[in-house]
Amino acid sequence: MNKVRVMGTTIIAALIGLFFLICVGWALYDYYGETSSDIEIKEAKPNDKNIPKEFTLVALGDSLTRGTGDESGKGYVGLVVEDLEGRFKSKPRVHNLGVKGQVSEELAKQVKQVEVKRQIQSADVIMITIGGNDLFQQGQTLYDYDFAVTSELQEQYLKNLNSVLKEITKSNDTATIFMIGLYNPFIELNEDYDTNKIVRDWNAVTADVIAEYENAVFVPTFDLFQLSVNEYLYSDKFHPNKEGYRLIAERVSSLIQWEGDAK
C-alpha cells in the first residue's frame, strides 16, 4: 500500500514539474521569440495612416501669390508648400495662377476660365491674395487720398470679391479657401493721416465678406508687418522680402489641417 502511495505521489510531482517547465519555456519564448524586425513592423503600421496620399493646392491672386520680392522665387506659396511637405511627407500638387498687377475685377474674370475652373475643381486648399492693387494703386490712392474715391474703389472690390468666391464655391464647395489680408507698406505716411486705419477698414470689410462663406477663412497679416514693416519689405518698399513672405507662410500653413495630420 505504501509503495502504491509513494508511486502516486511521485507521478503527481513529476506532472507538476513538467507543467512548470512548459510554462517557463512558453514565457521565455514569448519574451525572446519575436525578432526586432517583427516589432518594428508592428510599430510602423499605425504611422502610415497619418500620411495623406495626395492633395492639391491652388493659388490665385496678384504679385504676392507670384512671390515678387523674394529673391529665392518661392514667395509665401512656395514656403507653405515646403512646410506641408515636411508635415505630410508627401509633395502636394501646386497650381500657382497668380498674375502680377492683378486687381479683383481681373481675378473675377480669371476664375471663370475653363482651365482655371478645372484646376479649382481639383483643389483641396485655395489661397488668395487680392485687393492690394485695388486699394493702393502703386501708392497713388494714399498719396492723394480722397475718402469718396477710396469708398468707391472698396465698393467695386467687394462686389468683385463676392463674384470670385461664388464662382470658386460653384466649382468646388469642399475646398478650404484662405484669403490673405493686406499689410500696410505705407506706414511712413502716417505723419499726414492714418494709413493704418484705411488698411484696417479694408481688411475689416473683406473679413465680413469671407465670413459669409462656410469654407472660407480670412488670414490677417497686418499685425505681422505693423511694428517693423521696413524689415520685411523688398527694395521696392511695397512687396514683402523673403522674411516677410515667411511670416505670411507660417501663419497660413498653421491653419491648413489634413485628416490624419499628426502634428
What does each of the 263 residues of the chain score in pLDDT, given as a tens digit? 455 454 555 555 555 555 544 554 444 444 344 433 333 333 333 334 344 567 899 999 999 999 999 988 899 999 999 999 888 777 889 999 999 999 999 999 999 999 999 999 999 999 999 999 999 987 778 778 888 999 999 999 999 999 999 999 999 999 999 999 999 999 877 665 688 999 999 999 999 999 999 999 999 999 999 999 999 999 999 999 999 999 999 999 999 986 545 44
Name the helix (H) or strand (E) containing 235.
none
Residue with cell 511695397: 238
Instruction: Find out whether 198 and 222 touch, Cβ atoms under 8 Å.
Output: no
Handedness of CA 76, 81, 85, 88 (dihedral sign): positive
Reported pTM:
0.78
What SS3 class is residue 250? helix
